[in-house]
Amino acid sequence: MLDTWTLLIIDDCAADRKIYRRYLLKDPHQSYQILEADCAEEGLALCQKVRCDVILLDFCLPDMSGLELFDRIQQEIFKTSIPVIMLTGRGDEEIAVQVMKRGALDYLVKQNLTQDVLQLAVRNAIKQSCLQAQLIKTQERQRLIATTALRIRQSLNLEQILNTAVAEVQQLLKCDRVMVYQFAPDTNGKIVASSVESYRTVALCDRVGIGEQGSRGAEEQRSREEVAVGVSPVPLRPCAPLPLVPNSPSPIPYIYELGLCNCVSLKEQFNTKANLVVPINLSNNGNPTPKLWGLLIAHHNSGERHWQTDDAEMLNEVSVQLAIAIQQAELLAQTQAALAKEKQLNVFKSQIITTVSHEYRTPLTSILAAASTLVKHRQQLDESKQQRFLGIIEQKARYMSKLVDNMLLVNQLELEKPKFKPISVNLLQFFSDLVEQERETVGDRHELIFKITGNHHGFWGDRGLLQQIFINLMSNAIKYSPDGGSIEFHLIGKESEAIFYIKDRGIGIPMADQENLFQSFSRGSNVDTIPGTGLGLAIAKACVELHSGNITLSSEVGQGTKVTVSLPKICPTGQLSPSST
C-alpha cells in the first residue's frame, strides 16, 4: 500500500487547481490527500489546521504576494520547514530564484507544466524533505548520545558508570527497565546494574555458548538455545548495519539476542514482553575479536512495544560508550592495585631493612665475638670452651639463615600468592612423622603428646603448606615453654573438616598483644630473650588461608596457649573429597 501525503494547493485560479489535482491523483507512485485554497489567508489558515507534507504555492495571489506568504509560512507559523514548490508565470524566473534562495524546494513555470513534471517535482520535494527530517533526527540523536557518553564517562568508578548508563538509557528509550548483565569467567553471569533496585542480585543461568562466541558454530549455539528455551530463537547477528527507512516505523530485523531474551527463567523473573539486548564489547589488546564483557538490556513490559531501528542503534551506541568507560575504569583499578602492591612491597622492604638491622646485629655480634676469640686465643682455650664458641657460631648462623628463609617465604605468601596444589594426604602418617621429627629435636624437659580422633580420612591439602603451618605452631609451643612441660597435639577428623589443637603450658601471651600476632614482625611483649623474628604465625595464617581454613589463638599469661586450626576437607575444585575412604 502506498503512503498518503497531504498536499496543499494555494492558487486563485480554480482551473489551474483542478489541473494540478488531476495530474497528481494520476501519479502511480504516490497517493495524495489534496487540500485547496484560493487566497493567501485561506492557505495560512489551512496550514495551521492541517499538517501538510508539500505546498504548491502560486506566486501571484490576490491578497498577498507568493513571496510574502512563503516567508510567513516558514517563519511565523512553523518551526520545521514545509517543502514549498513555487508556481510562477513565464518571465518570473528571477523572482523564482529569490524564493529558492529563501528556502523553497523548487519552482515550476506554469506554462510549461506537464503531468510528468509536476508529479516528479512533488515526489522529489517529499523525498528531500524526508531526508532532511531524517538528518535532523540523526543530529538530535548524536547530540543525545554525546551528552549520554559524557555523563557515562565522567566517572572512573565502575559502579557509578553502570548506574549512570542504566539511568541514561532509560531516559533515552523511555522504557520500563534497563539492566547491565556481566559475564563471569565461569558459565554464569549476573546483573550488575539495574534501573529497578530489587533486580540487582538476580543471577541468570542462561549463558549458552556465549563465551565461545566466534569459536563455536552459530548452529550449535542456536540448537542449545532451543533446548534451553523450547522456542525458536532469533539467530545471532550483529546489530549494524540497520536499514534506515525514512518515515516508516520498521521493526528491528537484527539484534543480538544471544538466547537471553527467550530464556524462560528470564521471562519469568522479569515478566518481560519486549527486550532489546546489545552486547558490551571491550577492545581486546589489539586483537580484532572484541572481548564480550556483558549485555545492555532494555525491557518494556507495560503494553506492547515494537522496538525501532533507532532504539537499537541508540542502545548500541550507548553500549560502545559504556564499553570505553568500563575499560577505563578497569585500567584505573588495575593501576591502583599495582600501586597498592608496590606500596605494600615498599612497606615490606623497609620492614625487612629494619628487621635485618635489628635482628642481624645481635647474632652477628655474637658470631664475630666467638670467631675472633677462637682466632686469637685458640691456644689458651680448652676443647670444651672451643666447642662452646663453635656452638654459638652455629646456632646464631642458623638463626640468621632461618630469618632470611622466613622473610622470603612471607614475601612470597603475601605478595606473590603461590598456587595451592592439593593432593590427598594421609593425616595419621603425616602428623606421626612430623611429631616424631620434633621429638628428636626437643630435650627431655618437653613431652609431646599426639592424639588423633574422628574420621581423619579423605583430607586434601598442600603438603608444603601443611608443614609450614604445623612446624611453626609446634616450634612456638616448644620455644615459649622454656620451663618444659607437656605439649598436646590433637587432631579431630570431622565429616567435612579436620580440626587441630596445639596446646602448651608455657609463658602465654598478654591479652593486648594477641590481636596483632598474625601480622608479620609482631611479637609478644613477654618474650624476653627468647629468639624469634615474629614471622612464624604470619606464615602459618597465610598457609591456612590458602587451604580456605581458619586459625585462632587463645592464651593466658603464665598458663599457656592453645592454637586451633580448622581446614576443610573439600578440595579446591569444589569436588567433595571421598571422606569415606
Residues that bind ligand ATP (CB under 6 A): 406, 472, 476-477, 480, 504, 506-509, 517, 522-524, 527, 532-538, 561
Let me know: does 534 contact 522? Beta carbons within 8 Å. Answer: yes
Report how far residue 290's alpha carbon sits from residue 293's, in angstroms, rounded to the nearest whole number.
Answer: 9
**Where does this chain touch Mg ion (CB under 5 A) — which range of 51-59, 70-78, 459-467, 528-536?**
528-536
Strand 287-300 and strand 274-284: the pairing is antiparallel
The one-letter code for the residue type at 495 is E
**Where does this chain touch Mg ion (CB under 5 A) — which range of 410-418, 460-468, 473-481, 540-548?**
473-481
3-class secondary structure, 223: helix
Strands of 315-415 (E only): list them. Answer: none
Residue 355 binding Mg ion, by CB under 5 A: no
- Closest to ligand ATP by CB, 26 vs 349, is 349
Closest CA to 563 of 514, 530, 528: 514
Partner whose binding site includes residue 535, from Mg ion, ligand ATP, none (CB under 5 to 8 Å by kind): ligand ATP
Which residue in the set 129, 262, 309, 476 belongs to the binding site for Mg ion (CB under 5 A)?
A: 476
Buried b (16+ CB within 10 A) or exposed e, 244-254: eeeeeeeebeb
Give the chain's largest Cα–Cα span. 144
Residue with cell 629468639: 531
Q: Taking the CB of residue 234, how many other CB atoms lie within 10 A of it? A: 19
- Closest to ligand ATP by CB, 20 vs 521, is 521
Let me know: does 563 contact 508? Beta carbons within 8 Å. Answer: no
For residue 197 the three cell numbers come to 533496585
- Residue positions counted in the chain: 581
| Least distance between Mg ion and beta carbon 501 (Å) | 17
- Closest to ligand ATP by CB, 152 vs 535, is 535
| Least distance between Mg ion and beta carbon 390 (Å) | 26
* Residue nearest Mg ion by beta-carbon distance: 536
| Least distance between ligand ATP and beta carbon 464 (Å) | 17
| Least distance between ligand ATP and beta carbon 161 (Å) | 43
| Least distance between Mg ion and beta carbon 532 (Å) | 5
Q: Taking the CB of residue 559, how many other CB atoms lie within 10 A of it? A: 12
| Least distance between ligand ATP and beta carbon 452 (Å) | 21
| Least distance between ligand ATP and beta carbon 203 (Å) | 41
Report how far residue 237's alpha carbon sits from residue 253's, in angstroms, rounded to the nearest whole number.
Answer: 10
Upper half-sphere CA count for residue 413 (Cβ side, 13 Å): 25
| Least distance between ligand ATP and beta carbon 502 (Å) | 8
Partner whose binding site includes residue 321, from Mg ion, ligand ATP, none (CB under 5 to 8 Å by kind): none
Report the helix count and the strand count for the chain, using DSSP H and E.
14, 17
For residue 172 the three cell numbers come to 533515552
Report how far residue 143's alpha carbon sits from residue 139's, in angstroms, rounded to the nearest whole number.
Answer: 6
Which residue in the set 233, 363, 506, 536 belongs to the binding site for Mg ion (CB under 5 A)?
A: 536
| Least distance between ligand ATP and beta carbon 262 (Å) | 58
- Closest to Mg ion by CB, 212 vs 515, is 515
Partner whose binding site includes residue 70, from Mg ion, ligand ATP, none (CB under 5 to 8 Å by kind): none
**Where does this chain touch Mg ion (CB under 5 A) — which range of 77-85, 362-370, 400-408, 476-484?**
476-484
**Where does this chain touch Mg ion (CB under 5 A) — which range of 48-56, 267-275, 323-331, 530-538?**
530-538
- Closest to Mg ion by CB, 152 vs 473, is 473
Report how far residue 312's alpha carbon sits from residue 322's, in angstroms, rounded to the nearest whole number.
Answer: 15
| Least distance between ligand ATP and beta carbon 405 (Å) | 10
- Closest to ligand ATP by CB, 45 vs 404, is 404
- Closest to Mg ion by CB, 536 vs 549, is 536
CA-CA-CA-CA dihedral for 504, 508, 511, 516, to nearest 10: -80
**Where does this chain touch Mg ion (CB under 5 A) — which range of 79-87, 380-388, 492-500, 529-537?**
529-537
Taking CB under 5 A as the criterion, which residues in 262-291 touch Mg ion? none
Closest CA to 195 of 150, 172, 165: 165
Helix ranges, 230-308 (H)? 264-270
Partner whose binding site includes residue 507, from ligand ATP, Mg ion, none (CB under 5 to 8 Å by kind): ligand ATP
Partner whose binding site includes residue 442, from ligand ATP, Mg ion, none (CB under 5 to 8 Å by kind): none
CA-CA-CA-CA dihedral for 128, 131, 132, 138, to nearest 10: 180
505 backbone dihedrals φ, ψ, rounded to 5°: -115, 45
Partner whose binding site includes residue 52, from ligand ATP, Mg ion, none (CB under 5 to 8 Å by kind): none
Q: Taking the CB of residue 396, how many other CB atoms lie within 10 A of it? A: 20
| Least distance between ligand ATP and beta carbon 371 (Å) | 24
Chain residues binding Mg ion by CB under 5 A are: 476, 536
